[in-house]
Amino acid sequence: MLISSVFRVCVTQYLKCLSVMASRPSSDMAAFREEFAKSKHVVILTGAGVSAESGIPTFRGAGGYWRRWRAQDLATPEAFSANPSLVWEFYSYRREVVLSKQPNKAHYAIAECQKRLANQGRRVSVITQNIDQLHQAAGAVDVTELHGSLFKVRCLKCGTVRVDRNSPIVPALAGKGAPDPEAEEARIPEKDLPRCHQVGCDSLARPHVVWFGEGLDGGVIRHAESELEECDLCLVVGTSSVVYPAAMFAPSVASRGVTVAEFNMEETSATEKFGYHFSGPAGETVPLALAPHTTEDGK
């Protein structure tokens, strides 16, 4: 009886192991490439990890501070209302950092793939959580920016949004925004901070980004959801899958039977929901995944 009982326990544990193994995502790049070759509408969802390789600070995790503040302390409507000069110093610093960086191999691979497949009558939609516009700098078009952009500003009064890539964005912010914890606040008068350019307005403007405590733009969300509902292949690149609602996008796609491939330095809480997981720097794995397939017609 004892031997029989032990045997049953062993068999049960063995079957559980087989089940876990069967549910693990594949790392077979050749198999993924076959699915990529057949796809007609690819959605690529990107997060901070894809830009980290370009030297863009993520402001998340240990050490993610600017001066003495976490991003969560400054990227809020309340912080801007209380001290717009300090918040604009923070964003001016971030703008200047991004302006000094270049897209990396992952950005270029995505942009090249989008252009190449468009010539074949296929579609590549880029949806990003990043606000650095490095996808556009690499040549990607029609990028859906879930969280806005560092290079757009919005009027607090009339809501007008404009693109602004000036460096510095206003003269009063020249040389300001140093991340040194000992740096003194600039305390810039509100009249010298970025303002609305609409005739007759001239109200204070804020960064056109989604801050903590704010919801994403409804139109942007609907567009992203439409792209995800229509895709037949989804890539998740450099995202921790913890920032909602974007964290639910790829799992939702996977739940309807569409292949999802995750490209990340490490596994995430959503990894087991996906068909593929490729570990390593996106600048190495993404170009390999999106390179021209032998079956492409080369139009």
Looking at residue 103, the DSSP 8-state letter turns out to be -
Cα 88 to Cα 59, 91, 207, distances in angstroms: 16, 5, 8
- pLDDT at residue number 240: 77
- pLDDT at residue number 247: 79
Q: Where does residue 132 rank: exposed (0-12), middle (13-18), buried (19+ CB within 10 A)?
A: buried
Distance CA 129, CA 136 (A): 13
Residue 242 has pLDDT above 80, yes or no: no
CA dihedral 194, 197, 202, 208 (to 10 degrees): -50
Residue 205 has pLDDT above 60, yes or no: yes
Neighbours of 145 (CB within 10 A): 23
Q: Please report where in the chains the tokens 């929901």 appear, as a residue.
A: 273
Nearest to 88 by CA among 66, 107, 112: 66
Q: Which of 16-30, 79-93, 103-117, 180-194 has the lowest mean pLDDT?
A: 16-30
Distance CA 187, CA 89 (A): 9
Residue 35: phi and psi, rounded to 5, are -70, -40
Under 8 Å between Cβ of 239 and 269: no
Under 8 Å between Cβ of 239 and 264: yes
**What is the band of 20 on the pLDDT scale with cuts at 50, 70, 90?**
very low
Residue 87 has pLDDT above 90, yes or no: yes
* β-bridge pairing 205-209 and 144-145: unpaired
**What is the band of 297 on the pLDDT scale with cuts at 50, 70, 90?**
low
What mean pLDDT do residues 118-130 have? 97
Nearest to 202 by CA among 210, 211, 193, 214: 193
Which residue numbers are catalytic? 147
Under 8 Å between Cβ of 234 and 42: yes
**200/297: higher pLDDT:** 200
Residue 24 has pLDDT above 90, yes or no: no
**What is the band of 11 on the pLDDT scale with cuts at 50, 70, 90?**
very low
Residue 100 has pLDDT above 70, yes or no: yes
What is the residue-averaged pLDDT of the chain? 90
Write the pLDDT tens digit of every residue in 152-161.
999 999 999 9
- pLDDT at residue number 223: 97
Residue 290 has pLDDT above 80, yes or no: yes
